[in-house]
Chains A and B, each alone.
Chain A
Amino acid sequence: NAGVTQTPKFRVLKTGQSMTLLCAQDMNHEYMYWYRQDPGMGLRLIHYSVGEGTTAKGEVPDGYNVSRLKKQNFLLGLESAAPSQTSVYFCASRPLVNSPLHFGNGTRLTVT
């Protein structure tokens, strides 16, 4: 039982490049979330999903797109990376809306 797995762990992109971050959970959770964390700051919600095939915007959605084609996977896409997107990205999931979040170990993304 791996929990929440994020791929890749590290990535360096050049401005304008695109990439997809993968979040996979093996706990059959309905709800999934993408957060970003900048140095010295708390986590800010980018997008979230309340079930397979659904997505919704969070606090800082601009410049990102997401998809939840399968219940266990939540993908975060950057179509044209910018230096302002340099951050640590965390994925989380939970089975019910009033249950605790389970977090992955993060993806450290640098955009030069």
Chain B
Amino acid sequence: DAKTTQPPSMDCAEGRAANLPCNHSTISGNEYVYWYRQIHSQGPQYIIHGLKNNETNEMASLIITEDRKSSTLILPHATLRDTAVYYCIVSGTGTASKLTFGTGTRLQVTL
């Protein structure tokens, strides 16, 4: 499974869009990009995932570059409750494939 690189921390004003980048330059053709977040010490919460097309759900949008070497998670209107650690993970589809979590990006949403 490919490794990912994320900035350690970011700030965002409440009500503005939060754009969290992730680099996964060694991603291979059958690997998905997943995003999770962890609020305080709770279990990580799934946000969104994609293979090559951009994806949107009720929580966020995922933009994957055409070469698939990087992606951006967009929270369109960040609130204080979006303050969390955000993890970008790449995972394949083989039986032994597993999700490896790095240290993520700590997003602080402020008034």
User: Is B43 within 8 A of A59, CB to CB?
Assistant: no
Main secondary structure of the interface of B (DSSP, over half): loop
Size category of the B interface is 20 to 34
CB contact under 8 A between A103 and B45, given known A56-B96, A97-B93: yes
Bound Cα distance from A10 to B102, whole angstroms: 25
User: Is A42 within 8 A of B46, CB to CB?
Assistant: no
CB distance from A62 to the nearest CB of B (A): 17
A22, CB-defined interface residue at 8 Å = no
Pick the interface stretch among A11-19, A43-51, A66-74: A43-51
* B95 to A, closest residue via Cβ: A50
User: Is B44 within 8 A of A50, CB to CB?
Assistant: no
Bound Cα distance from A4 to B41, whole angstroms: 16
User: Is A42 within 8 A of B41, CB to CB?
Assistant: no
CB distance from B21 to the nearest CB of A (A): 17
User: Is A43 within 8 A of B34, CB to CB?
Assistant: no
Can you list the 5 inter-chain pairs with the closest CB atoms, starting with the nearest?
Answer: A103-B43, A43-B101, A100-B46, A42-B101, A98-B93
